[in-house]
């Protein structure tokens, strides 16, 4: 009797686990992996970098300020910046299509575009 109950518990646990995995998988599928980090200054695209190539780029804004963009392991982040609030640095790394890092003082946006180079429909 005790064994049977244990087995039922294990089956229940496995069912819950696979359900959780399925949900997690769906969320992951819905979040489309980005293909490019697109740099925009004053609303105009100035450059785009593939996320599958690790690189460090110093982005210079029109008024001579700098943001250090780092692409690593398929993610983009602002590693350093000389803006006063440094919110862009605190925003961390992004890698999913449609995500973006915004540096308001520098009017700089780094956003992730889809694999095909076409923006994801949101
Ligand atoms: Zn900033």
Q: How far is the CA of 22 from the centre of ligand 1 (A)?
A: 38
Task: Give burial (CB, 10 Å; 0-12/13-18/19+) of 107.
Answer: middle
Q: What is the pLDDT of residues 7-55, one digit of tens each?
A: 999 999 999 999 999 998 887 777 788 899 999 999 999 999 999 999 9
Q: How far is CA 100 from each of CA 10, 51, 113, rounded to the nearest angstrom? A: 42, 14, 9
User: Is CATH 2.60.320.10 the right assignment for the domain spanning 34-114?
Assistant: yes
Q: How far is the CA of 104 from the centre of ligand 1 (A)?
A: 6
Question: How many residues are given for the chain?
Answer: 122
Q: How far is the CA of 56 from the centre of ligand 1 (A)?
A: 16
Q: How far is the CA of 1 from the centre of ligand 1 (A)?
A: 64
Write down the residue that tokens 């109950």 correspond to. 5
User: pLDDT tier at 95 (50, 70, 90 boundaries)?
Assistant: very high
Q: How far is the CA of 46 from the centre of ligand 1 (A)?
A: 17
Neighbouring CB atoms inside 10 A of 14's CB total 10
Q: How far is the CA of 66 from the centre of ligand 1 (A)?
A: 9
Q: How far is the CA of 80 from the centre of ligand 1 (A)?
A: 8
Residue ranges of the domains in the chain?
A: 1-30, 34-114
Q: How far is the CA of 31 from the centre of ligand 1 (A)?
A: 26
Using a CB cutoff of 5 Å, list residues around ligand 1, an ion: 81, 83, 88, 103
Q: What is the pLDDT of residues 77-93, one digit of tens each?
A: 999 999 999 999 999 99
């Amino acid at each position: 009797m005790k064994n049977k109950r244990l087995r039922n518990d294990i089956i229940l646990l496995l069912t819950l686990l696979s359900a959780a995995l399925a949900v997690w998988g769906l969320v992951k599928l819905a979040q489309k992996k980005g293909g490019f980090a697109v740099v925009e200054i004053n609303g105009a695209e100035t450059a785009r970098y593939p996320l599958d190539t690790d690189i460090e780029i110093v982005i210079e804004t029109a008024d001579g300020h700098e943001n250090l963009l780092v692409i690593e392991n398929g993610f983009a982040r602002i590693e350093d910046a000389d803006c006063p609030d440094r919110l862009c640095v605190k925003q961390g790394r992004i890698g999913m299509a449609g995500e973006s890092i915004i540096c308001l003082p520098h009017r700089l946006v780094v956003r992730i575009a889809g694999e095909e180079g076409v923006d994801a429909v949101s």
